[in-house]
Amino acid sequence: MTDEQLRAAVLYVADQCREDEGWGRTKLQKIFFFADLHYFRRHLRTATGLTYIKREYGPFSPGLHALSRNMVREGLAEERKVPRGDRESLVLLPTQRPNPELVPEDFRAALDAVIADLADRSAGAISDATHQLAAWRLARPEEEINLSWALVARRRPTESSIRWAQDRIRQEQER
């Protein structure tokens, strides 16, 4: 996915979620993770090219975080602090109308499915759900999450399973 397409996807998600009571930076991270995971299960590669690392509150993409911060600095989006109980959330809002046509159709469909699935869930509940995923559970803290682990059982994969998954990914990338 190009930088322009990724920026369009961020604006698209921010626009779709602007009325969501649980919307914020954490939910942006989780929506992209689940959409990339959904895409990965079908294509054996991520749509975005982002990497995700294991953090206490679930998968976190440093690249997505940096991109959204840059978009705020460039005026494409703004951040607002929204009170949520005893704390505040940073909410990302687009400052312009997003162009969904720039987001690849199959990834936009994955985003739409994830947004619908997570619409009524808090960021905390979504983070708890990520902790049940084999791909998250098998990674060490601060380690990159290997999405191919989502294709295997809920136990640590064998070395031969890892080699098999890596070969399948390589084959798919060479197509």
Can you give the residue ranges of every domain in the chain?
3-174
Q: State the amino acid at position 149 in one-letter form.
A: W
155 burial level (CB within 10 Å; 0-12, 13-18, 19+)? exposed
The predicted pLDDT at position 78 comes to 97
The predicted pLDDT at position 152 comes to 64
The predicted pLDDT at position 155 comes to 59
The answer to whether 32 and 8 are in contact (CB under 8 A) is no
Q: Nearest CA to 37 among 112, 135, 126?
A: 135
Residue-by-residue pLDDT tens, the chain, 175 positions: 999 999 999 999 999 999 988 899 999 999 999 999 999 988 989 999 999 999 999 999 999 999 999 999 999 999 999 888 888 888 999 999 999 999 999 999 999 999 999 988 988 899 899 998 888 888 999 999 999 888 765 556 778 878 888 888 888 888 7
Q: Nearest CA to 135 among 118, 150, 125, 151?
A: 150
The predicted pLDDT at position 161 comes to 79
The predicted pLDDT at position 153 comes to 54
Q: Please give the full DSSP string across 3-28, using - where no structure is assigned.
A: HHHHHHHHHHHHHHHTT-TT-SHHHH
The predicted pLDDT at position 37 comes to 94
